[in-house]
Structure formats: structure tokens, C-alpha cells
Chains A and B, each alone.
Chain A
């Protein structure tokens, strides 16, 4: 079964780390820069994430995501730098355009915050199979039904795309024009939706039965498909990350 996920299969220690530790890392990368609002800390967090992505050999895969994020952020920088109401200190002037320090700093803060979040999430998404992530959450006590629901979301879109092509074939096999100009395709689109949605519903019903007959709801202890990842230093890393978050909190309260 195809699945929409950005997971990239590589051999690296980042891939070997269990999903829960990666989730804690995300918490770390989001919380610490908020608790300790300094540019240096934010830069360090982004830096760590980038280094980890490089070690995971997936840096290239992040380019499209980062480009999109940058596109959005540049707009923020321009708008805030030019028009933020608190703008006072002129940084530089280009003809009629004046760039202000307050707005620019504010925009920079937002930019860094978004970058820390995006890069931390990227580590999880690019180096962890969705099903593996869900399974480790289920191990930690999440209900298997909710876990199954999450995994299905990753599968439903490719499944619907397959259904669309199957039904299109059935329709054009019996004389409905689906090829050619935009108008023709658009006209063919509407009669497609009914069967696709209906088919998805029927599938759901049958899948529920298939799950049922294979004991999905049985109360006994389930065996997991994937072997639990036990990276040698998982505990150490988790402890350090949590310690860092706690440390940041303490620093914040004391100062």
C-alpha cells in the first residue's frame, strides 16, 4: 500500500533513534527558545536540527520545505520591517522605503521561531515511518483505534487517487469523454466524486469487518509489528533534553 509520507529510508543514527525521543526533541526545540528568548539560543536550536538532518542524510529533502517557509517569512520581514506600528529607529533608507529596527527584530524573532519548529519536525517526519511513530505511541498507552485512525489518514489520499483512476477507466471504457481540453476534464470531474466517496465509504465498512475478523478488538496483549527501537543512548538523550527544558525554566524564574 502506498502511503503519503515524507519518510526517507536511510541508514543513520538519527533513523535509529526511537520516535518518542524525537518527539521530546521537538518539545525541546520549541519550548527552550520560548522560555529563553535570546537569538543565540534560537540559532543554536536551528543549528542542532540542521546538523542532525545532515547526519540523517536527508538535508536535500528539506530544501523544498525550507524554500516555501522562507518565501512566507520574507513577506513577514518586509511587512513588519516597514509597517510595524512601534517602528521608531530607522535602520536604513532606500529611496522612499524606510526599514525600521523594531519591526525587523520582531520579524527575525518570528522567523527563528518558525525555523526551529519546522526543522525539529522535519527530523521526525523525514526519519520516522508514520506507522512506527503511531505504534510507539500505542506502546505508550494510546488507544489502538486512535492509532489506526491516524495511520489511515496517511493512506486515504493515495487510496482515493487510485479509486479516481479506476473509475475514470470504467467511465471512458464506456464512452464518457475524460481526455482532452480543460472543459472536458472538468465536466468529467463531477460524475467522479459520487462513486469515489461512496466507494471510500463501502471500503471503510469492509475494512472494519476485516479488522474485526482478525481480532482488532480483542482484549489480549497485542504483539507489535515493528521491533521496538532501542537506541543505546535514548535514555541519556531524553534525560538531557528534559534537563535542558527544566534548566531553561529555572533560569527564567530566577532571572
Chain B
């Protein structure tokens, strides 16, 4: 769905943030991980057309995105910003969510329907008239997710959706990601919560200092201890525990661990 060729980028005169990235994205749900400042947010902003590459090319669904404006691209790619305060600018929850659908020329009634449906998905359907700035951080983040989901794009990118979420909120996000995947959408998520990665994503890409250090099925990536160490990424605790106990293969979840444990015993 997305092809990235020889992509390089730097902010103005500053040092290179991304160097020569080659990636292809298919339907698999994908996690992007890597230490702070590795260039993850910058990368997805480039995909979204908010930044322009210094070199290289990005092709989304067969179209070179250089030829489209960010606004045109928003029918295909949705991005939930890392910082909700950067994304929210309307004065009520409902208006905020309806903003996107109205811009891609949906009828008002349809836009409202989509908006309420998306708000129901994140559990904010009872706070339609509240000013977004009065919501808590976790609710703001959920609002941002809803306002992107309402646009019903084929590709959805989350930038750290689980920040500030308790286990309830994480469960909501887990459900949302699963629902979107079932609808055949490409879900891409930048995230620091490795348990969440192990449990929810088929593919994992490790960024390190503006380059792709590892890329593949999540299990495979979490078995590459050297690379993870270099990227300063810790595998999930359960994976580390299984490894230390000498359990063969790479364990990703508690359920897997228990199954393996019983079979070994």
C-alpha cells in the first residue's frame, strides 16, 4: 500500500534525521519502535505529506505523494498526532470529530453519523458538547483517535496511542486496532509499550538514528537481541524471562509462556 524509496530528511540545516529509508507496507498491522529521537514521528509526518522529503520518494496506493497536497492525501491516510494538544483546535468534541469528514465532502448528516460512531468506539459519545480542552489527557488522546477514525481512511497511523492510558484505555485501543484491521485497513503504530507491540502487531520495524535497524514479523524482531540492544529497545519482560529460563524460541505473551511452560514440564 505504501512504498518508500531512498527517503532522506532533515529539518532545515540541522543534521540528517532520516537517512536512506527503504520500506514497503502491506496490510499487516505494523509497529514502529525505537528510542526517543530515532525519527519515528518525522517518518510518519513524511508519509502523511506534512513534511517534504529532501530526497527519495513515497508512493501511496500507486500515487507519488509529492504530487498531492496534505489535504488531498488525508482521504487515504489518517494520522493521530503524538501530542493531542497539537491536533485539537475546535471548541466542542463533536465539532472536532466532524471537522475531517466535512472537509472530505461528506454530507453533514453522514459526517455527524460517522463522528458519533467513532466517538462511541472510544467511549466519548456522551460528551459531545464539552470543550476538548476540559478533557483529561487520556480522553484528549481518545478524541484525536476518534477524529481520525471518522474519516474512514484506508491507512491509519497512530503516534503513541497508549500514552496516559490506564489498562481500560489500552483495552479500548487494542479493540479499535483490531476492528480497523478486520475492515482491511493498514494500521501503523509508533509505540514504546513493548508488551502492547508483542500482543497486537504482526510486523515490527525498529528505527535507530534515522535508519531501519530491523524489520520483520514481530516474533522474529524480538529474537534479534543484538539489534534491539543497539536500538536501546527492551523486549517484553515475559520474552526476557523465557529467554533467561532457557525456553527455546521467542515467547511474546503470557499465554504463550504458560502453554510452553506446561508443555516443557
**Which of B69, B72, B86, B151 sits near A174, CB closer than 8 Å?**
B151
Decide yes or no whether B104 CB sits under 8 A from chain A. yes
CA distance A167 to B71 in the complex (A): 13
B74 interface contact, C-beta 8 A: yes
Rounded to whole Å, the gap between the CB of A206 and the closest CB of chain B is 10
Q: How far is the CA of A76 from the CA of B148 in the complex (A)?
A: 59
For A, the interface residue count at a CB cutoff of 8 angstroms equals 19
Query: Would you call A3 an interface residue if the criterion is a C-beta within 8 Å of the partner chain's C-beta atoms?
Result: no
> Distance in Å from the Cβ of B52 to the closest Cβ of chain A?
11
Q: Is the CB of B89 within 8 A of A172?
A: no
Contacts of B69 in A (CB 8 A): 172, 177-180
Point out the residues of chain B lying under 8 angstroms from A171, CB to CB: 89, 99
Can you name 15 A-B residue pairings with CB atoms under 8 Å? A167-B89, A170-B81, A172-B50, A172-B74, A173-B48, A173-B87, A174-B99, A174-B147, A174-B148, A174-B151, A175-B71, A177-B71, A177-B72, A195-B89, A202-B133
The yes or no answer to B59 lying at the interface (CB within 8 A) is no
Indicate if B103 sits at the interface (CB-CB under 8 A).
Answer: yes
Q: Are B103 and A175 within 8 A (Cβ)?
A: yes
A176 at the interface (CB under 8 A from B): yes
Other A-B contacts than A169-B86, A170-B81, A170-B86, 19 sampled, CB-CB below 8 A, are A166-B86, A172-B50, A172-B74, A173-B50, A173-B70, A173-B79, A173-B81, A174-B78, A174-B147, A175-B71, A175-B74, A175-B103, A175-B104, A176-B103, A178-B69, A178-B71, A179-B70, A194-B89, A195-B90
Point out the residues of chain A lying under 8 angstroms from B48, CB to CB: 173
Considering the complex, give the chain B residue whose CB is closest to the CB of A176.
Answer: B103
Judge whether B242 is part of the interface by a CB distance below 8 angstroms.
Answer: no
| Choice from B87, B91, B133 contacting A170 with Cβ under 8 Å | B87
Give per-residue flags for B130-149: 1 if the beta carbon is below 8 A from chain A beta carbons, else 0. Answer: 00010000000000000110
| A135-167 interface code vs B (CB 8 A; 1 in, 0 out) | 000000000000000000000000000000011
- Tell me, in angstroms, the Cα distance from A167 to B87 when the chains sit together: 7
Query: Does B53 make an interface contact (CB < 8 A)?
Result: no
Considering the complex of A and B, which 6 residue pairs feature the smallest CB-CB distances, nearest first? A175-B103, A174-B100, A195-B89, A175-B74, A172-B70, A177-B71
Closest chain A residue, CB of each to CB of B50: A169
Partner of A179, one of B71, B74, B91, B99: B71
Q: Does B211 contact A (CB under 8 A)?
A: no
Cα of A108 to Cα of B78 in the assembled complex, Å: 64
Q: How far is the CA of A47 from the CA of B74 in the complex (A)?
A: 60
Interface assignment of B75: CB less than 8 Å from any CB of chain A: yes
B188 interface hit (Cβ, 8 Å): no
B116 at the interface (CB under 8 A from A): no
* B88 and chain A: residue at smallest CB distance: A170
Kindly name the residue among A169, A177, A180 whose own CB sees the greatest number of chain B CB atoms within 10 A: A169
Inter-chain CA distance A41–B26, complex, in Å, is 79
- Residue of B at shortest CB range from A175? B103
User: Are A175 and B100 neighbours in the complex by a CB distance under 8 Å?
Assistant: yes
Nearest neighbor of B68 in chain A, beta-carbon distance: A179
Complex CA–CA separation, A109 to B63 (angstroms): 67
Q: How far is the CB of B48 from chain A (nearest CB, A)?
A: 6
Within 8 A of B (CB), among A30-86: none
Bound complex: CA of A253 vs CA of B245, how far in Å? 99
**Residues from chain A with Cβ under 8 Å of B89 in the complex:** 167, 170-171, 194-195, 199
Q: Pick the most buried of B70, B86, B148: most chain A CB atoms within 10 A of its CB.
A: B70
Q: How far is the CB of B210 from chain A (nearest CB, A)?
A: 21
Whole-angstrom distance between the Cβ of A167 and the nearest chain B Cβ: 5
Q: Once the chains are docked, how many angstroms separate the CA of A242 from the CA of B183?
A: 81
A150–chain B nearest beta-carbon distance, Å:
27
Q: Which residue of B lies closest to A202 (CB)?
A: B133
List residues 56-77 of chain B with CB under 8 A from any CB of chain A: 69-72, 74-75
Q: A49: shortest Cβ distance to chain B, in Å?
A: 34
Chain B nearest CB, measured from A172 CB (Å): 4
Mark interface residues in B148-160 (1 if CB within 8 Å of A CB, else 0): 1001000000000
Chain B minimum-CB-distance residue to A199: B89
Bound form: Cα–Cα A199–B100 in Å: 20
In the assembled complex, the CB of B241 is this many whole angstroms from the nearest CB of chain A, namely 40
- Shortest beta-carbon distance, A80 to chain B, in Å? 47
By a CB distance below 8 angstroms, the chain A residues around B75 are 175
CB distance from B159 to the nearest CB of A (A): 11
**CB under 8 Å from chain B, chain A span 71-105:** none
CA distance A167 to B96 in the complex (A): 13
Provide the bound-state CA to CA distance between A173 and B86, in Å.
11
Which residues of A sit under 8 angstroms from B72, Cβ to Cβ? 177
- With a cutoff of 8 Å between Cβ atoms, the chain B residues found around residue A175 in the complex are 71, 74-75, 100, 103-104, 151
Say how far A207's CB is from chain B's closest CB, in angstroms. Answer: 14
Interface residues of B in 18-41 (CB under 8 A from A): none
Q: For residue A171, which residue of chain B has the nearest CB? A: B89
